[in-house]
Structure 1
Amino acid sequence: MTRVATSAAELAELDESGLALCWEGLPEGEEASFLGALAGMLEKPELREAEVVIVPGALMNATYGLTGENAYPDGLRIATVTVPQDVRALVPVLSPRGLRFFDNLVTNNAREQHRLDGGGAPA
């Protein structure tokens, strides 16, 4: 099942869970392929039936105040899937494949926006 996030509260829930694995730029209609690839790579067959939450770039920008070169294209689709806790330990395997956890995405965007806004590197 796929649904589109429409509120900041939904993004806060994804962020706070620490278990929302995401892929930036998933083409429309590729959700089943995305889930199949995740299930195979992570050896978690249950992920084939997981819910994919699409986070539009415009919602990311509005929620987190992303602007300029740090903003996402409005129509970009960030696909998120909540994964089992033990997957969190696989970050070194996931990152080179372009997968990131949503909380990491939010933190890195905030750090970059702070720099762009003239704040320098956060303490």
Structure 2
Amino acid sequence: MGAGSGGNLLGDAAHLAAPNGEGANLAMYDGAELGKALAAHPGDVEATLTEYAQALFPRGTAAATDGTQLHEFLFGDNAPHRLVTATRRPHEPPGVGEHRRAPARRLFARAALAG
């Protein structure tokens, strides 16, 4: 929401996105940015909220994009295999290090059976 809308939002409320662990960070950053805008425009609520909103939306878009990518990585097609591949050490050929990944594979298998 921007100036003249009757309300303004911070943090998770302003950044509707798949959870990616950034909600509290954005809330604190948004609060700091709003404080800076208030200090820059004392007594001018319209200018304060306009400045705040202009910075808020690009930041929110970036957070939403990151959240969507993380959600796809963790829960999209082929997610368990993609996650196992991502945790493989770069110098390991396939099949090496399986003892480290076996618990994760069992966890994914149980989740697939339960779901």
Q: Assess same fold via TM > 0.5.
A: no
- With CA pairs under 8 Å and 6+ residues apart, which has the higher RCO, 1 or 2? 1
Higher strand share: 1
TM-score, scaled to structure 1: 0.30
Higher helix share: 2
